[in-house]
């Protein structure tokens, strides 16, 4: 479960982490009156369950209450990566000297918690991670032992944090770890952890994701759950249509199949082939023509989708019927993109013949790996994200 920045800030503050103060507004009038109360420059920040708000225009400075009204009007109602902004945080603006990235998350490969620290924090952290990973210090923490003081020092030395801030920052790292473990978080991130021009270390953003399986014992956090708040507009529409669909914004390959396990595996295999999955879509046990058509329409809503990989395990399902259905549906789809179809099961030779001879960019694949490679070949690798 994701929580909003203002909720995460409250949580971090309760662990003693210093943040700039602020309040939530749902209308421009409220934003104006909060700004008047603060009495100096404020920052107006969209509160949505997604990152990258700054780049999307969802974070703006306002010098006075009238400007706060204006900036809040612009941000409220804005769409950020499929999420509509219904509230903003109005916070005391800070004079930034340096932006640090600090986070804790789980490293599944290492069966550990990982502390991540970088002096090159801020809105371009993904770019830093991709092009200069050496600027990011990572320290693995055995969860049964907990974070040790030497590990905090190690991270600060590796990240080349100026020594004069070690004490304040070390304290924040220790407290963030307590907050992370104490709230059963999967991710706790402060980006930026700001060193102000007058030398204070302050959290001016906060992002937390709580492990859903632990919510039974996180009763206070459970109260922050908002129905549908984790869903973007694509997911909401798909849900209304009765589809099992999860969106992965930024990807370029639509993914569909029958059975959740098969679809998840398909996503992994496409990723391994160098592609970037845009979604998860499960047709359910039987891939009927109507179901397949409805699913393809939902996938194609995102203009980033440049091709689709359908992976159907036929079993006793007649794969020739599925193939025919896809061929017939193809021309009625809102956009015609290449589709690779892996069909295995009853009458698959006939399914292959139907696809080979249909005169449309529908490509038969005999195996999941072949299909993943084919779709990536057809449309390219796409964005690195997702
Ligand atoms: P995100 O883009 O969703 O991660 O939102 P952030 O809260 O991290 O804000 C994005 C960027 O806006 C930060 O990296 C800062 O550069 C800038 N920003 C945020 N708060 C302030 C502030 O109080 N003062 C100033 N000068 N810049 C801010
Ligand atoms: Mn941020």
pLDDT digits (tens, 9 = 90+) for 127-162: 999 999 999 999 999 999 999 999 999 999 999 999
Question: Which of 76, 92, 108 represents a domain boundary (last residue)?
Answer: 92
Residue 381 sits in the same domain as residue 256: yes
Residue 261 sits in the same domain as residue 217: no
Substitution site in 6, 68, 123, 206 for ligand 1 pocket (most atoms within 8 Å of beta carbon):
123
pLDDT value, residue 313: 86
Residue 244 sits in the same domain as residue 306: yes
User: Domain of 343?
Assistant: 233-385
pLDDT digits (tens, 9 = 90+) for 227-241: 777 788 999 999 999
What separation in Å is there between the alpha carbon of 55 and the centre of ligand 1?
10
pLDDT value, residue 227: 77
* CA distance linking residue 51 with residue 324, whole number of Å: 42
Residue 344 sits in the same domain as residue 358: yes
pLDDT value, residue 289: 77
Q: Mean pLDDT score of the chain, rounded to an integer?
A: 94
Whether the per-residue pLDDT at 167 is higher than 70: the answer is: yes
Residue 183 sits in the same domain as residue 280: no
Question: Which residue is closest in CA terms to ligand 1's atom 9?
Answer: 54
Q: Is 186 a catalytic residue?
A: no
> Which position has the higher pLDDT, 230 or 244?
244
Residue 156 sits in the same domain as residue 261: no
Is residue 9 in a domain?
A: no
Catalytic residue among 5, 99, 101, 348: 101
CATH number at residue 42: 3.30.1490.20
Mean pLDDT on 273-277: 96
Residues near ion ligand 2 (Cβ under 5 Å): 191, 205
pLDDT value, residue 282: 94
Whether the per-residue pLDDT at 52 is higher than 70: the answer is: yes
Is residue 5 in a domain?
A: no
Residue 355 sits in the same domain as residue 211: no
Tokens 């299909």, residue?
A: 371
Residue 52 sits in the same domain as residue 169: no
Question: Which residue is closest in CA terms to ligand 1's atom 7?
Answer: 205
* CA distance linking residue 27 with residue 229, whole number of Å: 19
Question: Which of 48, 68, 92 represents a domain boundary (last residue)?
Answer: 92
Q: What is the CB < 6 Å shell around ligand 1?
A: 43, 45, 51-54, 59, 93-94, 96, 99, 122-123, 191-192, 204-205
What separation in Å is there between the alpha carbon of 200 and the centre of ligand 1?
16
Is residue 153 in a domain?
A: yes
Residue 384: band (very low, low, confident or very high) from pLDDT cuts 50, 70, 90: very low
Q: Is 15 a catalytic residue?
A: no
3-state secondary structure at position 72: helix
Count the domains in the chain.
3
Which residues, including other chains, have CB under 8 Å from residue 279's CB and lie 6 or more apart?
234, 245, 246, 247, 248, 251, 254, 255, 299, 302, 305
Residue 120 sits in the same domain as residue 136: yes
pLDDT value, residue 287: 67
What separation in Å is there between the alpha carbon of 207 and the centre of ligand 2?
8
**Which ligand minimizes its atom distance to the CA of 122?**
1
> Which atom of ligand 1 lies at the shortest distance from residue 53's CA?
3
Cβ atoms within 10 Å, residue 141: 20
Catalytic residue among 5, 67, 189, 235: 189
Is residue 187 in a domain?
A: yes
Is residue 181 in a domain?
A: yes
Residue 41 sits in the same domain as residue 53: yes
pLDDT value, residue 228: 76
CATH number at residue 200: 3.30.470.20
Is residue 142 in a domain?
A: yes
CATH number at residue 328: 3.40.50.261
pLDDT value, residue 200: 97
pTM: 0.79
pLDDT digits (tens, 9 = 90+) for 287-313: 677 888 899 999 999 999 999 999 998
Is residue 257 in a domain?
A: yes
Mean pLDDT on 1-11: 96
pLDDT value, residue 385: 40
Residue 386: band (very low, low, confident or very high) from pLDDT cuts 50, 70, 90: very low
Residue 85 sits in the same domain as residue 101: no
Residue 154 sits in the same domain as residue 47: no
- DSSP secondary structure letters along 88-116: EEEEE---EEEEEEEEEEEETTTTEEEEE
Is residue 88 in a domain?
A: yes
């Amino acid at each position: 479960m994701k929580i909003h920045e203002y909720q995460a800030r409250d949580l971090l503050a309760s662990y003693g982490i210093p943040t700039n103060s602020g309040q939530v507004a749902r209308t421009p009038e409220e934003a104006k009156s909060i700004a008047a109360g603060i009495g100096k420059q404020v920052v107006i920040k969209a509160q949505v369950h997604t990152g990258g708000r700054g780049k999307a225009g969802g974070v703006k400075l306002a010098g006075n209450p009238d400007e706060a009204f204006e900036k809040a009007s612009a941000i409220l109602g804005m769409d950020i990566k499929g999420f509509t902004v219904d509230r903003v945080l109005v916070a005391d603006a800070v004079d930034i000297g340096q932006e640090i990235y600090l986070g804790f998350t789980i490293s599944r490969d290492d069966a550990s918690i990982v502390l991540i620290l970088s002096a090159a924090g801020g809105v371009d952290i993904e770019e830093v991670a991709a092009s200069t990973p050496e600027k990011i210090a990572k320290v693995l923490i055995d969860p049964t032992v907990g974070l040790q003081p030497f590990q905090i020092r190690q991270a600060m030395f590796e990240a080349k944090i100026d020594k004069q801030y070690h004490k304040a920052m070390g304290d924040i790292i220790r407290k963030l770890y307590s907050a992370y473990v104490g709230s059963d978080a999967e991710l706790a991130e402060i980006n930026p952890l700001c060193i102000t021009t007058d030398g204070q270390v302050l959290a001016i953003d906060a992002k937390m994701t709580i492990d859903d399986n632990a919510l039974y014992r996180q009763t206070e956090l459970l109260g922050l759950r908002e129905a549908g708040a984790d869903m973007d507009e694509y997911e909401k529409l798909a849900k209304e249509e009765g589809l099992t669909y999860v969106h992965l914004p930024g990807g370029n390959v639509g993914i569909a199949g029958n059975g959740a396990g098969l679809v998840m595996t398909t996503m992994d295999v496409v990723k391994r082939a160098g592609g970037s999955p845009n979604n998860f879509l499960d047709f359910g046990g039987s891939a009927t023509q109507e179901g397949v058509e409805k699913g393809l329409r939902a996938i194609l809503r995102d203009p980033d989708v440049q091709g689709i990989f359908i992976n159907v395990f036929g079993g006793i399902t007649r794969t020739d019927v599925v193939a025919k259905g896809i061929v017939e549906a193809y021309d009625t789809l809102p956009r015609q993109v290449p589709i690779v179809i892996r069909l295995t099961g009853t009458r698959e030779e006939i399914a292959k013949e139907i696809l080979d001879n249909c005169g449309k960019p529908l490509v038969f694949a005999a195996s999941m790996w072949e299909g993943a490679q084919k779709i990536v070949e057809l449309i390219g690798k796409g964005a690195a994200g997702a």
